[in-house]
Structure 1
Amino acid sequence: MVNYRSYSQYLKERFGRSVLKVPLHAGFSCPNIDGAKSTGGCIYCDNVAFSPAAASKQPVLKQLEAGITRSGKRFDLFIGYFQTYSNTHAPLNRLKAVYEPIIAHPKVVGIAIGTRPDCFSEEIYRYLSEISQRTYLSIELGMQTIHNSTLRLINRGHSFEESKCSIEQLNRLGIETVAHVMLGLPNETRAMMLQTASALAALPVHGVKIHQLMVINRTVLHKQWYSIGRLTVLELPQYAELLAEFVSRLRPDQVIHRIMADSQPARGLIAPLWSTEKQHSIQFIQRYLLQNKIYQGMRCDKKK
């Protein structure tokens, strides 16, 4: 029993049994890396550290089959998860060539697409709407924070207003949207982070994915912030308390897709090292919520 509406619970309600998301790397880039907007990327970015799938050079269908095989007999339903980089940052014909074979797989009940709010065109919106009418579709939008000062500082290359516009357009099309946010970004105060939670509660987002800021070797965040003492990462007790307050400000109906991220030193992780112990950290956070009687939505402003 947890004090928030988990994604695994939502999938069981929707599909009648457990569903496994299989991370896929489709070879897309990002406008913040390939020069469309910038070449530097976000200051914390290293996709291989965040998802081992980013290192795969196999065709996506083979990646999917490998993920299904690894799951053994524990699952018989799957979601193809286009996780790394910006998975709508390509011409429509290429998106169709990548998505459609995954959608057509007999064990796949839908797809989840990670992308940025500045990676949509009208024809891509129309195509996504068409997909959502024939299979499960979730768009995971990298928003990170509502504060434009932070977005500029971390070199995101888009504004909160662009995130809001994309969220509202996806909602008008009836597409399930998930906002991805980070806690512990440089120069963000506790109050600023909780303002992001309240803003999410007021937006038409179906789900929220939350994770701690991680420092990855050789990133700008590591070289120009953490290594010279300009940044202190959240320790697990701090993060648990902050995460609890964040979740309490979300709407009760919003699905919590993730409460933390994990990585390993072998993939470049520098800090915080509690990120290496996923199950222990999740249990610590869930215990904190239960012991302090904090639950999702309890501090949500219902008038918004």
Structure 2
Amino acid sequence: MNWRIVAIPVTLIPIFIIAIQFDIQIDDVLAIGIFPFVGAVIAMLIKLGLQGIKFAYITRKYLGNFDSFLKLVGVRVGSEFIKFTTPMFVGAEFVVIYYLHKKGVNPAKSAWIAIMDIVTEVFAAGLLSIMAGIIALLNGAYVVGAVILATSIIITSLWMVMFFLSSKHTFQVPKILENLVKRFGKDKGEKAIDKTNLWMNEVCTMSRENLKTPESKKIFTISFLFSVVSWSFYGISFMIIAMGTGYVISAFDSIMAVMGANAIGNLPITIGGSGLAEFGIVAYLNNLDPFAFEVPEGIVAWDAVIGWRIATYYVPIVITWLLLVKLALSKISKPSES
């Protein structure tokens, strides 16, 4: 976990590059004002809180009156620290699987709950990002639109296909990977592969037992709607902070811009999408190449983009870290029965 803390300063490098390139001073960021900045932070915390409530809802639907509702919310919010410090879209699910397992829940059931949570998250984000990509294309932003659509469609399709196919097909570790692990890991590698295959078999069995039931369909639908609202608050956070710089943008345009940037930021290139997300917003709003660092001045207030990044990343990362250590990674003396 220590390497993740060390990785956080690395995310500042793109911020410094932007600040130097476009002569952004600390006073420019401070000029946003305390109220817009706090408003953006609150919007982001609402986003995280809704994610936590959704996870607690899914968990209790499958496990009954399991654990404290607020604690489940806190664990899920804390798990976002992994996403913030990883150059990928996913990662938080491993924390909740670990937590549920430590509380005595069957590994397969823990994985099923985590999968239901992350799939609805990815599905909602994917649909919003695809909308953003289509709108970008319609407005002539062909490069940024193509990048958003390619990233969103690939990630969303992969998760959704794997999710729904798990009810019809039992997945196992690919033979190529299995042979490599057994060859280099020998007995330990073979045991790891056997355990992984057994776990995947149990998860697929859970999928067959639950996915087509009316109750699971209801849970999926409600969770998906929670995710849509959650991601919407993420987009609104930029609208709020942009107001402090005098940049006027509607809630819908702000949501589309942020979700488009989010799709670009999900590329496994930088930690937490640092740099990609910022340039993604500017590229989306101005029909530019998201990977071109020669962005003209005076098109979008860069202080708003940097301020938004601080409000939605660096402030929440402290909160998620505290919750992760305090709740998800804390010792559990008496595991409850699932």
Structure with higher helix content: 2
Structure 1 or 2, whichever has the larger Rg, is: 2
Higher relative contact order (CA 8 A, sep 6+): 2
